[in-house]
Amino acid sequence: MSDTTAFTPLRSVLYMPSSNERALEKAKSIACDGLILDLEDAVAPDAKPSAREAACAAAASGEYGRRTLTIRANGIGTEWHDDDLAAAAKAGPAAVVVPKVNSAEEVGRLVDALERAGAPDHTKLWAMIETPIAILDVLSIARASERLTCLVMGTNDLVKELYAEHVPGRAPILPSLHTALLAARAAGIAILDGVYNDVKDEDGYLAECEQGRQMGFDGKTLIHPGQVDGANTAFAPSEQAVDDARGLIAAFEDGQGSGVVTYNGRMVEALHVESARRTLSIHDAIQALD
């Protein structure tokens, strides 16, 4: 994010079905950075009203500690969408997550609906990017409102919409992922990678976490508590990265005014110092969670 002093770790953001009382209780003890209490895919149609009540009660309870707690509403145009937004706005979670946001105009309407329903200032909007039209319009979506603070990649739907295939390395959707990343960074907002579907394939999952971190994602959305530790590790600066950041900053500050500054044989410029300071801000924010 552009303001590293206000950095909020989102390494691991876990979807939890709001229709499952045991899952909501278990979520209080899971070491994830964020929770998405789901009213959409994980909830059967006849259970959606009661799931909405449960999610809103959880969001208002204050029992989830330092976790960034959000509610995913049903999609625009569904019979549950308007009631979901209104109820979530009153509950005041950290954010309302909306699937298949396809335009800046939709963002505007969502923000208006939240504000009309009395959403507090701290309740932000997270937009899921999961269709071809959303990818093609993602910069305008990302810049559409100050209340929009995060893009969430819906990679399963994106693969389906592209008639692509799920393959190791995700080559079919890499251009889309990069495009969304560019938009998020241009707008100064967070962006979360999509889910990994095979909860038994630890090696594949960890490889995708590493890929997401290398690409620049802030964290990953998850479908199983067993995936939390891997994401927390992958999206946190390593001890070596933290040591290098401190050493680079010290070398730059000591060498200012003396011409070319080097650290471990590498030339150091202001842009490297900015990256190092971001690394330390992320590290400090994570350490503050413990």
The overall longest dimension of the chain from CA atoms, in Å, is 70
Same-domain pairing of 11 and 127? yes
Number of domains in the chain: 2
Same-domain pairing of 76 and 124? yes
Same-domain pairing of 142 and 246? no
pLDDT score, position 7: 78
Same-domain pairing of 173 and 255? no
Average pLDDT over residues 118-124: 97
Q: What is the Cα–Cα distance from 234 to 240, expressed in whole angstroms?
A: 13
Q: Which of 216, 234, 252 is the last residue before a domain boundary?
A: 234
Please provide the DSSP assignment of 32-76 as one string: -SEEEEESSTTS-GGGHHHHHHHHHHHHHH--STTSEEEEEPPPT
Yes or no: say if 222 and 228 are a contact pair by the CB < 8 Å rule. Answer: yes
Q: What is the Cα–Cα distance from 72 to 18, expressed in whole angstroms?
A: 10
Share of the chain above pLDDT 70, in %: 97
Same-domain pairing of 143 and 257? no
Prediction pTM value: 0.93
Same-domain pairing of 216 and 277? no
Phi and psi angles of residue 221, each rounded to the nearest 5 degrees, phi first: -85, 145
Best CA proximity match to 60, nearest among 37, 79, 44: 37
Yes or no: say if 195 and 153 are a contact pair by the CB < 8 Å rule. Answer: no
Q: Which of 219, 234, 249 is the last residue before a domain boundary?
A: 234
Q: What is the Cα–Cα distance from 177 to 134, expressed in whole angstroms?
A: 12
Q: Which positions ≥6 away from 5 have C-beta within 8 Å?
A: 281
pLDDT tens digits, 200-245? 999 999 999 999 999 999 999 999 999 999 999 999 999 999 999 9
Q: Tell me the average pLDDT of the chain.
A: 94
Q: What is the Cα–Cα distance from 75 to 231, expressed in whole angstroms?
A: 27
Q: Which positions ≥6 away from 35 have C-beta within 8 Å?
A: 13, 14, 16, 27, 64, 67, 68, 69, 70
pLDDT tens digits, 84-110? 999 999 999 999 999 999 999 999 999
Same-domain pairing of 272 and 189? no
Q: Average the pLDDT over each of 31-40, 93-102, 263-272 and give the range with the smallest value.
A: 263-272
Tell me the CATH number at 133. Answer: 3.20.20.60
Same-domain pairing of 155 and 224? yes
User: Would the pLDDT of 34 be above 60?
Assistant: yes
pLDDT tens digits, 160-207? 999 999 999 999 999 999 999 999 999 999 999 999 999 999 999 999
pLDDT band at 6 (very low <50, low <70, confident <90, very high): low
Same-domain pairing of 205 and 82? yes
Q: What is the Cα–Cα distance from 237 to 223, expressed in whole angstroms?
A: 23
Sign of the torsion formed by the C-alpha atoms of 18, 22, 23 and 27: positive
Sign of the torsion formed by the C-alpha atoms of 16, 21, 24 and 26: negative
Same-domain pairing of 54 and 148? yes
Sign of the torsion formed by the C-alpha atoms of 38, 40, 42 and 43: positive
**Residue range of the domain that includes 19:** 4-234
Same-domain pairing of 67 and 98? yes
Q: What is the Cα–Cα distance from 56 to 62, expressed in whole angstroms?
A: 11
Q: Which positions ≥6 away from 274 have C-beta within 8 Å?
A: none
Same-domain pairing of 156 and 269? no
